[in-house]
Amino acid sequence: MPPTPDPIEDDLDSLPPPPPVFHVEQALLGALLLEPHRAASLTGIPAEAFSTAGHAALLTAIRSLPAPEPAQHSRNTAWLNQVLAAAGEQTRGLTTTYLHHLIQCCPEPQHAPAYARIIEEEHSRRLLRAAAHRLIQTTLDTSLPHRVATTLAEAGALTTVVDDIATRFPTRSGSLSRTPASTPVTAHDEEAGEEERLLLATATARPGSVERMRWLIPGDFTDPLHAGLWQCLITLTRRGTPIDPVTVLWGAQHRGLVATGTAEPRELLGFLSEADGCPPEYWGEQILLRSLLTTAHRSGRRIEKLTGDPATTTYQLVVGARRALADLSAVRVRWQHATTPPPANARVSNRISAPPRAGPLPTTAPPAVRIPR
């Protein structure tokens, strides 16, 4: 009869191995248990920086208890028993055997500051990943009453995390940044396409609005054809060329939008002539809003992908995150230009200054002017 497999043993075998930082945490705790006086110099690492509740509880217990005398600590385990009792009040599962195991895991107690630095770096990675995840979720939450404002607030919080990491971990020369693979382009949104067609039609009917909408660029469009047509409108406006559906079609041909079979001439003339009653600025803001949320989502994904790569150093995380946030910052500036009302024109004074009063007649003749010979 074949042996019956033990379900508990099978479950343990299926668990993934702990990450490298877990062993670093064990080495640091072992150093502090072996030489408790070293805990006083490790003030920069918080308990939540540890990956398990047991390790966090042990660090808190070690800090809460006064360090014993080295000679006394080497003779008995009284202080270790106090640490175990204090940590056991916060979490369960810690044993005396595990404390001795931690001591054995520490190769060099004097390397405790280096161990703490590694744990801080990994904690920074988790904080950055969590902030990026919150930004991603905010961009997808359609139930938010102020979706753009909340998204920008989360982006600001993410920027604060990046700046804090850069302050605590200064850059080092010779460390190249890592660039994650480009995010695949999302499927075309029919609602976005309809808004873009309405903008192109209304802007063709009212070309004066194109010059006022410098905050909208072709990169904000989801359809490459629509982006090319918007560039046509910008070019025609700057050249002073008359604008109507026919001239825009001719400009589209020069940009290769018709010759490559991207769009049929009749189709372009059709939707360029279907302007509605809304001003172009309204549709432009809708397109820019969608672009802002898409860019924020893409930036969060890029940062999240960076944090998921264990080969990425802390410096590379900072550089990569700042590059991703720079794209979002550029769209945010354009959004502020689009949604900020223009300043009220200064009032021009209508008062006409009175002519100067005539003074008394001169009593002496004016001096003669000598003309040089």
Residue 172 has pLDDT above 90, yes or no: no
Which residues are CB-contacts of 21 (< 8 A; sequence separation ≥ 6)?
Answer: 51, 118, 119, 122
Contact 188, 212 (CB under 8 A): no
Which residues are CB-contacts of 206 (< 8 A; sequence separation ≥ 6)?
Answer: 275, 279, 280
Give me the pLDDT at residue 44, please: 82
Torsion, Cα 237 240 244 245, to 10 degrees, reads -60
Residue 275 has pLDDT above 50, yes or no: yes
Give me the pLDDT at residue 173, please: 55
Confidence of residue 206 (pLDDT cuts 50, 70, 90): very high
What backbone phi and psi angles, to 5 degrees, belong to 188?
-65, 130
Residue 212 has pLDDT above 50, yes or no: yes
Residue 282 has pLDDT above 50, yes or no: yes
Give me the pLDDT at residue 99, please: 95
Give me the pLDDT at residue 328, please: 96
Confidence of residue 123 (pLDDT cuts 50, 70, 90): very high
- Identify the residue with better confidence: 170 or 208: 208
The Cα 161–Cα 155 span in angstroms is 10
Closest CA relative to residue 192, chosen from 276, 290, 328, 282? 290
- Identify the residue with better confidence: 77 or 178: 77
Domains and CATH numbers, the chain: 18-107 (no CATH), 120-174+190-340 (1.10.860.10)
CB count in 10 Å sphere of residue 338: 19
Confidence of residue 53 (pLDDT cuts 50, 70, 90): very high
CB count in 10 Å sphere of residue 43: 9
Closest CA relative to residue 246, chosen from 238, 236, 234? 236
Side chain identity at residue 67, one-letter code: A
Query: CA 208 from chain center: how many Å?
Result: 35
Give me the pLDDT at residue 267, please: 84
pLDDT tens-place string over residues 80-94 = 999 999 999 999 889
pTM score of the predicted model: 0.80
DSSP letter, residue 29: H
Residue 357 has pLDDT above 90, yes or no: no
DSSP letter, residue 297: H
The Cα 262–Cα 247 span in angstroms is 18
Residue 361 has pLDDT above 90, yes or no: no
- Identify the residue with better confidence: 264 or 146: 146
3 state SS of 279:
coil
Confidence of residue 262 (pLDDT cuts 50, 70, 90): low
pLDDT averaged over the chain? 85
Stretch 183-205: mean pLDDT, rounded? 81
Give me the pLDDT at residue 265, please: 83
Give me the pLDDT at residue 270, please: 87
Confidence of residue 185 (pLDDT cuts 50, 70, 90): very low
Residue ranges of alpha helices (H) inside the chain are 7-14, 20-34, 53-64, 70-75, 78-88, 96-105, 112-140, 147-168, 190-205, 208-212, 224-239, 245-254, 265-272, 280-307, 314-339
